[in-house]
Amino acid sequence: MFWGEFSHHLDTKGRLIVPARFRPQLDDGAILTRGLDCNLVIFPPEAWQTVTNQLNQLPITHAKGRALRRLLFSGAVELACDRQGRILIPNYLRTYAGLDNQALLVGMETFIEIWEPSKWRTTLDSVSNVLEDSSDWLSLTL
């Protein structure tokens, strides 16, 4: 399970430390790709397989399906943590997410999001508005 927020620096080569509590779930490797909100996403193999199965069900004749496939598949890279628990984020993905020297790793239960910190704060600030506008489909009882 991936939970919590962790702030880390990227070094000059684009390496980012993965929180120690996340590393065991990435022992079999992982996939890093673009996220939907100008962020990055790390998927463990099982979660990535679920995503690819769903994407492969989308007809290529639909523009939104093609766009989503392009976004996720063209940006995807396999990764593994080095001995110091770091991953290398390719330059094109750092550029996409606006990552410079600071990154925020956010656990999303089955995957990890990587955010430029100010973008994360903006996104988090808008959560209540998004949920308010989405109350018709959300039926969780807390």
Domains in the chain, number: 1
Amino acid letter, residue 33? T
| Residue 99 tokens, joined | 């990552």
**Would you state the pLDDT for residue 45?**
96
Beta bridge partners of 109: 2
Q: Which domain holds residue 97?
A: 5-133
Residue 142 belongs to some domain of the structure: no
Helix (H, G, I), strand (E, B) or coil at 97: helix
Q: Is residue 139 part of a domain?
A: no
The CATH number given to whatever domain includes residue 41 is 3.40.1550.20
pTM over 0.75: yes
Tens digit of pLDDT at every position of the chain (142 positions): 999 999 999 999 999 999 999 999 999 999 999 999 999 999 999 999 999 999 999 888 999 999 999 999 999 999 999 999 999 999 999 999 999 999 999 999 999 999 999 999 999 988 877 777 655 565 554 4
Q: Is residue 123 part of a domain?
A: yes
- pLDDT tens, position by position, 35-46: 999 999 999 999
